[in-house]
Each structure stands twice: as structure tokens, then as C-alpha cells.
Structure 1
């Protein structure tokens, strides 16, 4: 050890690296001697690497080398080793149990006797302090061994703060957004870019954030968004940099999120190349690919043009056409873009047969009735979509698919037949339905129906109906075949029994009818519609008999034909906003109870709709009716014309307009002072002609709307309207628009109200009034 110290002490002053290496080597040697390790003989030692220390010049006088530490100080610092200690180092360690027993015995021997105070520095104290701390003291206090008192005994006192607590809620960081650099493009493009950014921006979605980090995250997101928008509009080299600026001097001022844009050059089409086989006509692809050389490369236009090609080819005889992946080669030096689009047109085809698979609701023969194409016609995907919609409209399928299938069969003129494959999955055919309404004078009316839509395939339905209301009760059964021999034509057989009890008449009526209709449906609204059929009625009705000046039951048997034609240019069945409708109904009938007396009932209806702006619609309605060839008394009360009510002239009760008679009340007792019965009654008796008109102003916002309306009309005893004594009703209504039509609530009042007329009349139903 001393030798190592001497060598370290006499080292010359070397560089830092050399000195550290020397100290390490000397320390290693010292450790080897201290632990008794055997030194490596010189013969076995590796030759030491000489230190690269440059020799000083011969003429340089170096100062004498002083020792780093004096010898006396160094030797006094290093303790001498005890020979006995060397033996102790080689002895085995004692166990933990032996160590604890030895320490306990030493403490017991040094402990003071009872009544004596240990002196300062007593070895019995763990750390030699004159005063023992609780951590060192043995557990002699009996209180420490006692159980803790119950929690209920503690007296808890509220902590009193010297300052009132300040409530703190979530902080919000307000900011504004600034985009610099868009003014370098043309005005229209800048406005378009700004509009696209505003609609998608995370920063613009909210002008406050929880913290600055959230603003920064939104700024980063919007930077990528703005870069994508610029690229989609042809600026592929655009760069966007961002920063957060404070608009005020203090740190609490709002932030400004800044996006600095350098659009660069805008790329334009320099060439448009379509690689495809020849088509018929030859310009089929080029005329539908709405891209031109010199135009900017705008992603939306490119996608739209390709989609138009993908649609036009199947519509013009190419059912198996495929539009490939585009390629646009950009030249950053010129800003030119070469556009290439591969198209596989496939085989030109015509319609072949129809094949059906799956869980069938009906066979391929009936599907041919629904289709609007014939074998050999040029394939048109619009006809295929139309057939798919017609199949869905039957309501008989869970799922249905209609796809073309190549046959390879030559059809001449360079075409092949394509079979239409219909894959069916028939669904539940039964349906329960119901409707309800209310009208002043008509009361509550609830109607329910049960339908089996395919009890007699194909599409032969059986329908049971029931009506329950304050003024009407009845049941009925109908056999109906949809698409009967022709698309959208319906054949119906109807049997009904109905009781009606209105102010104008009370009737028990039985009816059987056969009817063929070609009418609009919720999916297909047709411009031309028609209906024709025949019916027989037997009815017992209460009528006013002038010969007895009172009511009497009369029996009527009526046979008749029905013919109706319509023309419709409106844009919706349940909620039209533009266009007009015109319908005429002619019913030649014969009274059979006392011979064969013929007459004709005819009615003309017209409606028109005019939109004003995006929210207003002005609507108008006219109706004229006449009955020719019969006296009013010989005509059954249920076959006469009436007016008034929710579907007629609002502001008046159901069937309350027109000729009326006043007669003595048979239930009136002049001796009964408590009776509420009036002395006389007023009863509508109907007429042989009618004239009605209505005007509405409809305002809609979202799914809600309001309506203001004026209705007018009158019923006349003559066979033609004389337009005398026209009655007017005014009112307002509310609408709630659903996917199956608007729910309607109207309230109206009559102008120049007369005796017996209600001041307010309420009407609730589905659909517009007209």
C-alpha cells in the first residue's frame, strides 16, 4: 500500500487523460496488495503500452515536481490493518438469530437498575443521546398498549380557513382563426376554398377550447385539412404553416390561430386519354366524361365525370362495363397534368329472359309483368332499377336483388343476350294497419285493417277492414290483385256493411263493387290515372218527408257504373309544393226500388300549387258537382251532395252547408220544464249541385309548419250551382311533417255565423287538406 502511494505521489504533471489512467493503474495495484492477492509475475505480465508523452526540449528548464500530498499527511490518513482483523475477515458471518441474541444481551447488561437514571452517553441508549426519542425507546408506556377509543367519541371540528374559498370552474380559451395567402388566387376560387374549409374545420366548429394545447391540436388538424382542400382543387404544391399569436399584451388575451398559405401553381389538364375498346355510339365515353384540356384538375369534377361514365355505359347497352383506376402525371415545371383513364366496356348486350332464385314470393312470369322492357331491347340499367323498385313496392320481400347475367348467346348486330337474375327472399305477407281522425260534426273515426298480401299468388291479397267512430261503424272485406295483367293496375272485389248516423241522414247500407284502377302510389306518382267499375247498393235511410213534415225511413236499391280520369303534374302525393291536379268523376246510376230510373252524378276537382321561395307555398282548390236526371226527393240522401267539414269547407260542421229544413222536435215536451230538448230541429237535406273553393298559404321550417286558409262553398237544390249565398270559413292550421305525410291540425270559424253553427271547428287527420 505504501509503495503504491509513493508511486502515485511521485507522478509527474501529465495531461488530464494520462493522469486519470495513471491513477487507475495505481489504484488497481493498491487494491491487489490490500486484499492479499498474488501479484502476476513479471514474466506473465503483458508488456505495458507506452504512454505517448512528448519529451521536453533540451533547453527548457522545468520547475521542480512537488508531491500532491505530503508523506506524513498521507500515512496518517490511511489506517493500519490489524492482523486479528484479517482473521475476522475470513471468518463466516453469524446468523441473524445469533446477532439479535448478542445485541439483546449487551443491552440488558448495560441497562440501569430500577430507580437509576442512565448517564449521558449510556451505551444502553441506541444512539448515545442523553434523551431517548420515541423511535428508539422500548415500549414501556402502558397507554400505548390500550385499545383505541371508538370513532363516535372523537369530536370533529370543521377547519376554519383564514380566506374564503374561491370557486373555480373549467376555463375556456377564446380564439379567432385567420387564413393568410388565399388572396393570391382568383376571387371565386378563394371563396370556394374558404367555404370548403369553414364547413370542415375543427377550429371553425367552435371558437373556444379547454386550453391552448387543444387549440394547437385543432390548428395542426386544420393545417392538414387545408392542404388536402388545396390539393383537391389543383394546388398540389401548396404549403401551409401555422402559428398561435396572442392578440393582446397579457397572457390572458385571446389567441389567434394563423394559417399561412402559399398555394403555388395550379395544375391544369394538358391531355386527356381514355383507353377503351370502341363503343356504339363512338362518342359514348367522351361525351359523358366532362373534362376538358386547359381546365384545373379538380378532384370533385374528376370523380363526377368518372361516375357519369360508369352510369352512362350500363344505360346504353353495356351492363358489364368497369371504370378503372385513373392516372394523373404532373409536371411541376409547367403545371401540366396528363390524365389517363382505363375503361373496360364489356360486351354490348340486349335484354334476354328473366331467371329467379331464392325463397320465392312469385315466379318469373309475374316478374315479366312488372318489368318495363321486352326481350331484344337494348340493355338499360334504368329499367333494371325500375324493376327492382317495383318488386320492393309489393311489400313481399325481406331482400331482393336484380342483376344482369352474361349468357354468351349472340343477339345479332354485335350484341349478346343478358339474362336478368332476380334473387328473392320472401318476407312476412301479413300486415296490420290503422288510422284515426277527428272532425267537428263527423266526430272521431278510427279505421283498422288486416291484410294478407299474397294469399292468392301472385299478389292476390285478402283485406279485412273495420270502422269504429262516433258517427260511423262498419266492416268490410276486399279481394285485391295488384299488377293484374299489367304493371300498376289493380283489380278489386269489395263487400261492405256500414252504419252512418250524421245530421243529414242515418243509413244502414250494404255494398258490393268491382273496380279496376290505375292509380299513383307512394313510389310512382303517375301523370295519367284512371278507374272504372260497377256497384250495387242496398240502403235503409232516414229522410225528411215533406208530405208528413217529418222524418221517415226509406229503402233504396241502386245500381251504377263508375268512371274516373286524372291528370297530375304535382311533385308529391301527400305534400305537393308545385304543379297542378285535375280529376273528373262520372257515375251513371239507376234507382231500382220503383222501376229503373236513371241519373248521372258528375264532379270535377282541380288543385294548384305555387312555391314562393324556399319556405312558402300558395295552394288553391276548386270543386264543382252536378246530378242530372232525378228529383232530389227520389235520390237517396247518401247519394246527394253536401258541403262542410275538414275535406270540404272548413269552418262548418260535416255536411252542414246547403238546403236545410226546420221541423218540430217530436221529443219536445212543453210540460217538462227541466227538458233540454229544443222545440224545433234543423236538418241538412243535401242538394243536386255543389261549388267549393279554398286558398292556403303554407309556411314550413324543418319538420314543422303553419297554414292560413280561407274556404268557401255552398250546396244548391238546382242541378247547377247558382253561386248564391256562398259561405266562407277562415282559420289556421299546424303541420308536423313525417316520412309518410304531414299530420294536420286545423281550426276554423265561419264568417257571418248563423243560428245553430259552431263558433270554432277542429279537424285532425293525415295529409294536407288538398
Structure 2
């Protein structure tokens, strides 16, 4: 250990037996104190000289070699030839008369006679294409040009962006772009030549005497050559699909002899993958397409490797959160049954349906093999569903005002999965100048099937309107099949049961408040809608018809009455142009079976308001008592006509809608058109992703005493 510790010290000292010549060069003093030794040398004591003047003559001192006697050297410098491809670009500022600048990569392969045979196509104010007449017959020429315009560096150039030299580089880039695009369409021998044209008067207009980019125009001469076709088209592995081969091969529509279009290879590959997924192959894997170009044959051989992964039928749906949304409930939502052939679109549909519940924030669905295919028989895959719950509780509130309805404040609390699966509990309250309400609602979505909803609603409310006052307790049950924003259906329906106990009195009579009447009502309402329109909230074409009927029995003042409330409504939408839609609506209602006095005022027919005849108060149209309060009737007729014009404002998001409405209510049971009240106005729609926001301003055309002069209506969606 002692010897190891001494090694560093030994390395720092010079051996006394060192070579004498070496010791003379590096004495011990240089090692022991190198700084002092260096300062004691001759070099350290020699003063420095001034900086050398590079223009001064050389001093011969120090040179030991004589200059050679023959000092006459002949130096010859050859002039380099300027590349003709660059000459025009280099001299463009010094040669004002020049109009056309040849750019790098340009070759003169055509004489004037050949140029005369080219088709000239000016695709913009700056860019012109020249190409052979045969290329003008290219069926995809318009798409080719549109594609170039979207990608071109020059097309998107703004005035003053660059000088001409920089623009020349852009032109070269566009030339390369055109060559690449032509190869996409099968022109693998294509050549593109480009020129920049500048008018003589533009010389010196730019910075430093140059030419402004805005003064330049560009000519691209396209020599596409022969368009290649597909030679062999092979899908190795697809033959393993057996009986499905012919149909699947037909879904891949590229055939030998077709012209090559590389984009089509991508789309046909996608189509084949979709077709395999729709035919029962959940584990399909398609390789990258390989296109081998043979320039001798002017053909390309295409190969796409197919790994089908085997054919399968659906098994069970397995939920990763059975206490949240069980596999049984998910099976009721799904549009496929156990044993059906696997279809990827059915799995995608299930994914959309689960997301539409609003109960999950993230979701994954994967097929899981449970039985492998054997002897040509399909295997079985379960559908594994993993979900992350979304926030389920909501507290909401709103303030509002409606003509004829006054001010209202609403508040609600809900839990969207209080009774799993999809059992919502909602508590709500309304406090307003004309209405107060407290209620609780239970709602089971997707009950025994997709978009089938069971609703139980219990509430108590008071209403004080011009037509009547009511204190009501209601219990309502309803089962319905809904048409939703995600899944609009041609047929929707509902059936229900209503039990109502209400104390009501009609509006004032001769300035006196009338007596309250107590009604006990049981009803079986039903409704059917046929919808052949193109949208629930913003239809532009088609039609929609809804029929409603509610057989009811009513007990009041010891009298038992049976009657039926019913109405039918039709809506029609006719596009006149891309920006104008004419929409019309007609509704007819009736109460059959009893005198009007046996029908509670709240269950009579009324017209007027935002969803009826705009310009009038809510329920303001119809028979009136001596002080002008509406009393309701047993028949109803309503009509509406709108012109929905889509303006170009805010990228087309704003529509202007002039409209006219008409309606009447009568104490008789037959709907008619006598005593119609008319309202007209203009509205604005702001179109969003979830539907239009509506603001309507209307006035009555034949007002009665006491009618408002202006009505304002705000809502989501079109008025009808």
C-alpha cells in the first residue's frame, strides 16, 4: 500500500539519471517551478514588435533559399462558360428588354410549330398551362387542376411577398409538384418545363432595381407522355375467404387494364377493408400496397397482401362495468343479436349509442375470440366494452320571459344514472309570475330497446293566465320510441296514462272572478309521427306528419263525461335554391263527445304564441269572455308559411326568415277557417352544429282590442 501511495509523487519529479541533453533542454527548475523558469528565458525578456503592415516589403533576413533565376511565370486563367439554364436568371436585371426567363430545368424540346399545336389553358391570372391536345381529353383534368391550385406555391402568392428570384424558386417547386402529380395519375414519363414572363415596363419596379413578383406570370408546359395502365392486380390471401371471395374481389374495383391512379389504390384498399369488416372478418389485416412500374410495358403491377384473420359470428356483449351499464342492457341497445354474422358497422353503431347516453366520457370496444373458425364454419367473438363514467349529476337553472307567459325562473337537479342502468332522477321547480311548479321525474332510457323511453312524472303546479287559473296535481306515465338528433327515425310513437286532479276557473267575467271547479281526469294519450324530412331541427326538404289522440274521462260537479281530444299536423319543406327553402305548416284539432263546459279549461284548445300564431299572446286566439280573456274551444285551425333564406353572412351561418301565420279557435267541433287571426313578421336564424338559434319578431295583422302590437320569440330550432 505504501508503494502505491508514492506513485503520484514519483511521476512529478525528473530522474537524476536522465539523459544530459534532455536535462539541458528541460532543467529541474522548469519542472519544480515552471512559471518562474519561463519568465527567466531569453524569449520572455525580448520586447514585442509592432503589428506587421501587410503592405510592407518582405525582409530578406531569415531566408536561406535564393529566388530562382527564371522568375517569369505565365499564368493563364480560362473564362468559365455560363450555364445557359442560369444565364437568363442571372441577367434578368441587366437586360430589361427580355420578357421570358428560362428557369433551371428548362429544355427547349419544341420548335415554334410544335408550340402552335399545344392547348393553352389559363387557369388563373398568373398561371397558364400548355399541353398537347390529347391531354385535354384526360377525364380527370379538372380535378388535376383544382388539386394543383390547392397545393401551388405560386397560386397562393400575394403581391409583394417575394422578389422575382425567390419567385423563380417557387416556380421550380411548382414544376416539381406537377411532375409528381402527373405520376400520381399514371404519367410516369412526364416532363414539365416552366417560364417566368415579365413585361419590359416592369423592369426596375422592384427593390434594388428588380422586378416585383406581382408583375410576373408563369407558363408551365406539360409533356405527360404515355399514361400507364395496371398490368397484374393481385390480392394474395383473399382467396382464403372461400365463398366470400367473388363478392370481396368485386369490392376492390381495380382491374388489369385500368389506367393507374395512385389515389384510387388508397380508396380501394379502404373499401376492401370495410367490405371484409362487414362480411364477418373482425381481425383483417391489409398490407401496404406495392406498385411495380415497368417502363418497357408502360404498365404497373399492383400487389396487396390480405390477411383475413378468419370469419366470425357475434357472441355476447361483455361489460367491463356491469354495475354501471350491464352487458344485458348493452345487448338491448345493440342492433345485432348473438349468432349474427360479425359486422364492423354494428360495432360502430353500438359505440355511438353508448356515447349518446351521455353517461360515459371514454369508451373502447374490441372483438375477443371465444371460438376459432373450424372446417369452414365461422368462429365466435364476444364484444368487450370498457367504459369510463362521465360526471352524472347536474344542477341547472334559467331565467326567461315569454309574451303572455311572463317571467319565469327554473331550477333543476338530476342524476342520470340514479337507478342503473340509465335510470334518471330529476327534481325540478319553476317560480314565475304566472306559473309555479314542483315535480319529480323518473326516466329510463333505452328500456327494452334502442331509443325506447319510459317516463314517470309527478308534479304539482299553479297557473294564472288570462284564459284560466288552475291548481293541479298530476301523475303521468309514458312509453315512447323517440326520434333523436343522432338517430332520426321515419316512425316515432308514444302511448301514456295521465291522472289529473285540478281546481280551475275561467278568466274574470263582468269583472268578477268565477267559481273554481274541480275536475278529476283520466286520459290515454297516444301520438304517431311519420318523418320524411332531412333534419329534426333544421329541415330543408321533405315532409312530416303527426297525429295525436287522447280518449279521456272527466268527473266534475257529480257529472261524468267521456270525450276525445285529437289533432293532426302536417309540415312540408321545399327547397327552391341552394339558399332558399319554402316551409309550410297546417294543423287541425277537435274535441269530440261532450259539451265544452265538461272539459277543464286547461285541456281545451287554444292558439297563439311562438309555436302557433306569432304576433299574439300565448293562447290568446279564440273565443273570449266579456272582458276579452280567452276561454278556449273545441276546434282549432292553424297555418304558417315561411321563406327561409340563407345569407352569406358569417360564412352562411345567418338566415333571414319572413313569415305569415294564421289561426282560429271555435266552440264548435269542426275545424274551419272563419274568424282567422293573422300575424306576420321577420326572423333571424343563426345556424350552429346542433341546430339553428331562432329569434322572431311578429305583429298581428288584424288585432283585436287588447292584443299586443309586437311579439318576440326566442328558441332553439326552426319554428316548425
In 1, distance between residues paired with 2:42 and 2:451?
109
Aligned match of 1:251: 204
Match of 1:631 in 2: 595
| 2:101 corresponds to | none
Shift of 1:499: 2.3
Aligned residue for 1:177?
A: 127
In 1, the alpha carbon distance for the partners of 2:322 and 2:183 equals 50
For 1:193, which of 128, 135, 144 is the aligned residue? Answer: 144
Query: Of the candidates 302, 327, 348, which is equivalent to residue 265 of structure 2?
Result: 302
Q: Does the Cα contact within 8 Å between 1:436 and 1:765 map onto a contact in 2?
A: no
Alignment of 1:117-132 (within 5 A): none
Q: Which string of whole-angstrom CA distances, capped at 9 and with x for unpartnered residues, describes residues 231-288 of structure 1?
A: 2211122223334331234232611233333222211123322212233333122210
1:143 — aligned with what? none
Q: CA deviation at 1:369?
A: 1.3
TM-score by length of 2: 0.77
In structure 2, the residue matched to 1:230 is 182
User: What residue is the counterpart of 1:440 in the other structure?
Assistant: 403
Q: For residue 458 of structure 1, what is the aligned residue in structure 2?
A: 421
The one of 313, 335, 346 equivalent to 2:309 is: 346
Aligned residue number for residue 614 of structure 1: 578
1:135 match: none
For 1:693-749, what per-residue CA distance to the aligned partner results, in whole angstroms no more than 9, with x for missing partners? 111111224221111112111001101113211222111100011222211111112
Matched, 1:262 2:262: no
- For the residue of structure 2 that corresponds to 1:278, the secondary structure is helix
Does residue 204 of structure 1 match 2:155?
Answer: yes
Could you tell me which residue of structure 2 aligns to residue 683 of structure 1?
629
CA distance in 1, matches of 2:151, 2:705: 64
Which residue of 261, 277, 290 maps to 2:253? 290
**Deviations for 1:412-444, whole angstroms, at most 9, x for unmatched residues?**
852111111111222221234456654322334
Provide the rounded CA distance (Å) in 2 between the counterparts of 1:446 and 1:765.
16
- CA distance change for structure 1 residues 280 and 318 in 2, over 3 Å: closer, same or farther? farther
Partner of 1:405: 368
1:567 deviates by: 1.3
Residue 674 of structure 2 corresponds to which residue in structure 1? 724
Using the alignment, how far apart are the partners of 2:488 and 2:125 within structure 1? 52
State the match for 1:35 in structure 2. Answer: none
Corresponding residue for 1:654?
Answer: 618
Instruction: Note the alpha carbon deviations across 1:283-336, whole angstroms, 9 max, x for none.
Output: 122210122333221122222111111001110111112222212222223322
Separation in 1 of the partners of 2:183 and 2:400? Answer: 57
**Alpha carbons of structure 1 residues 501 and 717: separation in structure 2 relative to 1, 3 Å:** same
Q: Please say if residues 402 and 421 of structure 1, whose CA atoms lie closer than 8 Å, have aligned partners that are also in contact.
A: yes
Q: Give the whole-Å Cα distance in 1 for the aligned partners of 2:188 and 2:706.
A: 79
For 1:362, what is the secondary structure of its paired residue? coil
The answer for the alignment partner of 1:505 in structure 2 is 468
Aligned to 2:282: 319
Cα distance in 2, alignment partners of residues 658 and 618 from structure 1: 28
Q: Is the 8 A contact 1:438 1:763 kept in 2?
A: no
Instruction: Report the CA distance shift for 1:576/1:449 in structure 2 as closer, same or farther (over 3 A).
Output: farther
Structure 1 residue 271 corresponds to structure 2 residue 236 = no
User: How many Å separate the matches in 1 of 2:386 and 2:406?
Assistant: 48
Q: 2:60 matched to which residue of 1? A: none
Do 2:684 and 2:696's aligned partners in 1 also have CA atoms closer than 8 Å?
Answer: yes
1:690 CA drift (Å): 0.2
CA contact (8 A) 1:437 1:764 kept: no
In structure 1, the partner of 2:350 is 387
Deviation, 1:563, is: 1.2
Stretch deviating more after TM superposition (575-584 or 552-561): 552-561
Alignment-derived partner of residue 576 in structure 1: 539
CA distance in structure 1 between the partners assigned to 2:250 and 2:719 by the alignment: 47
Instruction: Tell me, yes or no, if the aligned pair for 2:508 and 2:629 is still in contact at 8 Å.
Output: no
- Kept in 1, the 8 Å contact 2:470–2:504? The answer is yes
User: After superposition, what is the alpha-carbon deviation per residue over 1:585-635, rounded to whole angstroms, capped at 9, x for unaligned?
Assistant: 111112123243211111111112122232221111111111112211222
Map of 1:70 onto structure 2: none
Residues 209 and 215, structure 1, Cα contact 8 Å, conserved in 2: no
How many residue pairs get aligned? The number is: 589
Report the equivalent of 2:193: 241
Runs of 4+ in 1 over 6 A off after TM superposition: 96-99, 545-549
Displacement after TM superposition at 1:356 (Å): 2.6
Note if 1:429 corresponds to 2:392.
Answer: yes
Counterpart contact for 2:396–2:412, Cα < 8 Å? yes
- Say whether the 8 Å CA contact 2:571–2:585 is kept in structure 1: yes
Change (3 A) 1:267 1:468: farther
Distance 1:216 1:472, change over 3 A: farther
Distance 1:387 1:326 in 2: 31
**Separation in 2 of the partners of 1:184 and 1:571?**
44
Q: Unpaired segments of 5 or more residues in structure 1?
A: 1-90, 100-173, 663-680
Q: 1:568 to 1:433 in 2, by over 3 A?
A: farther
Evaluate the alpha carbon distance shift between residue 456 and residue 222 of structure 1 in structure 2; reply closer, same or farther with a 3 A threshold. Answer: same
Deviation at 1:506, TM superposition (A): 2.1
CA contact (8 A) 2:572 2:584 kept: yes
**Secondary structure of 1:601's match?**
strand
CA RMSD of aligned residues (A): 2.7
Match of 1:221 in 2: 173
Partner of 2:486, secondary structure, is coil
Note closer, same or farther for the CA distance 1:711–1:98 as it changes in structure 2 (3 Å cut).
closer
What is the CA–CA distance in structure 2 between the aligned matches of 1:434 and 1:232, rounded to whole Å?
A: 58
